[in-house]
Amino acid sequence: MVTIGIDIGSISAKAAAIAKDKLLGSKVILTGYNARQAGMAVFEGLLKELAIDRDAVGRIVATGYGRNSVDFADQAVTEITCHAAGAHFQDPEVRAVIDIGGQDSKAIALGPNGRVTDFAMNDKCAAGTGRFLEVMARALEVDLDAFGEMSLQADEPAKISSLCTVFAESEVISLIAKGARRTNIIAGIHASIGARVVAMANRLKLQAPVMMTGGVAHNIGVVKALEDKLGLPVQVSAHAQVNGAIGAARLAAGG
Amino acid sequence: MSDQEKTIDPEKERRKIKSVKTMKDIMTHYYIEAKTAEETGKKVAWITSGGPVEPLIAMDVIPVYPENHGAMIGASKMGTDLCEKAEGMGYSGDLCTYALADIACSTVNGGPIGGLPKPDMLVCGNNICGTVLKWYEVQARYYDVPLFILDTPFCHTEFSDEARQYVRRQIDEYLVFLETVCGKKCDHDHLRDVGRLSMEGQRLWQAVLDTTMNKPAPMSAFDAFFHLALIVTLRGTQTVVDYYTGLLEEMKNRVAEGISAVPEERYRLLWDNLPIWFKTRWLSDKFAAHKACLVADTYTSAWCGSLPYLDENNFLESMAEGYSRIYLNIGTDRMAEMVVEMIDKYEVDGLVMHSNRSCKPYSLGQYDIARIVQEKRGLPTLIIEANMTDARSFSESQIDTRIDAFMEVLKG
């Protein structure tokens, strides 16, 4: 029997299918305006891609901010529990997860069974999230996908001191005006995210191995900044963006 | 749907606390009396929630609590509007929102009861925070009335003899202040009786709160937030003693009949900090949906926490210590000890802390307390970032997720 996890985030909707402890596949689409529709679209899209019949699907677990909008799911579970389950599924040794998504960031401590023992989330602020990076990419006129590689070429990372996305954007604009190099500004932005997320993560007693999940994990610059501040190696989930959906599918299978 | 067609859920009706109506009547009567004081020739004193009210009662002065009013403003969802007004007057939005709402309300006579009655005097105790000093100074200037400040030294671990003398002398000054403003002498025999009634009221309030040691709990912290109003406002009167005697009896009956605050109570939680007044119903329903009952809290228990330091045979002398050693005027280590004592007493499974942007003294140290609780009792803590009065600091979907995730941790 196939189980499905659906993760409706603020920016993207993800779905993953699991059968017999194996990941069959996953899919990501933009959430858009209607979370319910996005849930249905990503679910149907995934089934189509994997050529799975609707009748072959067993339990469905929904997660993410739109978890309660997915009315065809059997259960709604928070993304905290799902990210822990997803990370545990990928690597049972993992004891900590740092997830940076579109509009939130969270740190999760896991027990050996993959259950959450403690967690911390960002407060009502977009700084230190994917949205923050999007705003900065726009200000710098750089494709967000290029951020990671570009930051590695920095020779003198800029200092971004503001904790607020809007004010940090002003800081970036004034750095551009002063002629600072893009690579250095981007490295500064990553360091600022790293500092903010690690300050939050330090509320918990995080133990290695640490896995990073969420779409922002694809950005090598942020990963390096986190390692730097955390003082621990950070492994990136091979399925970073769909880790929550994988965890949901795993929980749907009773894992 | 018309009223006749509304279906009454007998189970819900059974669960309702019947004393609520009496409480509402008493509070309505109290506010009418306060708002008509000018006509009846009575004096009105505005006083802080942790201030020494007994001498006011003994002098037949009506005590009025801007903080209680702030709670009403919050519960009526009028806080944001008044806070914005105060910000427009030049006050920072980072200040205490009770202060902001009160200061703004004075200029427009707004809020749920059309503003508080004009004070004849202000009585400010800084045992709860430092903001009250500036807040009451602002109001003393605005209303052009005398202000008395009771300065209680911070009690990190103990209450020294020097501190006792310092506060005790101020209590004498307080009585002189009242005699001057009221133009009459204080009847010390009457004050002793008021002290006795105050302690009796506090003992009854503690007994009411302690009924939640029963499993399931007959009431929750959300109920305590409501029933608290009397021990705050009219402490030292027979009204309070009578009311809590009745409430205690109702709680005991609920225990005997197995009536619980939360249907099928499974998880017992401890609340820390002030309520989020504009969201109490939502939070109550949210936790109840998880079969979780907030069985105790550090907030409402503060109005009976000084009992060990008070002496009904020597009330005036013991006031110095009783009014200094309150929850917000002690060190974080001692606060954590008290939290751990409550965890054991009420047998709770986890902590819910409201990190209150509006109340710094209450919120400072919460992460340390959470850590100590984790170390000593191995219990998890949920932190909810909000504000007691101003809805602008409340993000429902984020808090919804945090509560769900916390309950998933507890359920294991």
Strand A210-213, strand A116-121: pairing = unpaired
- For residues B281 and B395, the answer to whether their CB atoms sit within 8 Å is no
B396: nearest CA partner in chain A? A124
Domain map of chain A by residue range?
Answer: 2-124+197-252
Give the relative orientation of helices B315-324 and B161-182 as an angle to the nearest 10 degrees.
110
Q: Which residues of chain A lie closer than 8 angstroms to B367, CB-CB? A: 203
B290 to chain A nearest CA, in Å? 13
Q: Which residues of chain B lie closer than 8 angstroms to A80, CB-CB? A: 401, 405, 408
**B57-67: average pLDDT:** 97
- For residues B247 and B227, the answer to whether their CB atoms sit within 8 Å is yes
Beta-carbon contacts of residue A164 (< 8 Å; ≥ 6 apart): A125, A127
B289 in contact with chain A, both atoms CB, cutoff 8 A: no
Strand partners for A99: A106, A213
The yes-or-no verdict on residue B148 having pLDDT over 80 is: yes
What part of B 376-395 touches A (C-beta under 8 Å)? 380, 383, 385, 393, 395
B210 in contact with chain A, both atoms CB, cutoff 8 A: no
Using pLDDT thresholds of 50, 70 and 90, give the confidence band for residue B5: low
The yes-or-no verdict on residue B289 having pLDDT over 70 is: yes
- The span from the CA of B142 to the CA of B115, in Å, is 14
Q: Do A115 and B412 touch (CB under 8 A)?
A: yes
The partner residue sitting opposite B404, judged by closest CB among A78, A117, A123, is: A78
The partner residue sitting opposite B402, judged by closest CB among A65, A121, A203, is: A121
Q: Which residues of chain A lie closer than 8 angstroms to B395, CB-CB? A: 124
> How much is the pLDDT for B1?
47
Test mutation, B351, B398, B399, B400, chain A, max A CBs within 10 A: B398
Q: Which residues of chain A lie closer than 8 angstroms to B409, CB-CB? A: 81, 115-119
Q: What is the pLDDT of residues B196-222, one digit of tens each?
A: 999 999 999 999 999 999 999 999 999
Buried b or exposed e, range B183-213, using 16+ CB within 10 angstroms:
eeebeeeebbbbbbbbbbbbbbbbbbbbbbe
The complex's ipTM works out to 0.86
Q: Do B385 and A104 touch (CB under 8 A)?
A: no
**B279-285: average pLDDT:** 97
Which DSSP string corresponds to B98-119? HHHHHHHHHHHT-TTTTSPPPP
Q: What is the pLDDT of residues A96-150, one digit of tens each?
A: 999 998 888 999 999 999 999 999 988 767 777 888 899 899 999 999 889 999 9
Strand partners for A25: A17
**B310-314: average pLDDT:** 95
Lowest mean pLDDT among A83-87, B10-14, B185-189: B10-14
> How much is the pLDDT for A203?
86
B206 to chain A nearest CA, in Å? 33
Q: Which residues of chain B lie closer than 8 angstroms to A76, CB-CB? A: 404
> How much is the pLDDT for B170?
98
Per-10-residue mean pLDDT of chain A, 255 residues long, equals 94 95 96 94 97 96 95 96 97 96 90 93 78 90 92 93 82 92 95 91 90 93 95 94 96 89
> How much is the pLDDT for A211?
97
Kindly report the average pLDDT of chain A as a whole number: 93
- The span from the CA of B290 to the CA of B297, in Å, is 19
Q: Which CATH superfamily is domain A2-124+197-252 in?
A: ATPase, nucleotide binding domain (3.30.420.40)
Q: Which residues of chain B lie closer than 8 angstroms to A119, CB-CB? A: 405, 409
A137 to chain B nearest CA, in Å? 26
B367: nearest CA partner in chain A? A203
Q: What is the pLDDT of residues B382-397, one digit of tens each?
A: 999 999 999 999 989 8
**B282-308: average pLDDT:** 96
A205: nearest CA partner in chain B? B371
Q: What is the pLDDT of residues B120-141, one digit of tens each?
A: 999 999 999 999 999 999 999 9
> How much is the pLDDT for B11?
87
B398 in contact with chain A, both atoms CB, cutoff 8 A: yes
* Amino acid of residue A218: H
Domain over B15-411 is classified CATH 3.40.50.11900: yes
Which DSSP string corresponds to A27-45? EEEE--S-HHHHHHHHHHH
A70 to chain B nearest CA, in Å? 15
- The span from the CA of B336 to the CA of B374, in Å, is 11
The yes-or-no verdict on residue B3 having pLDDT over 60 is: no
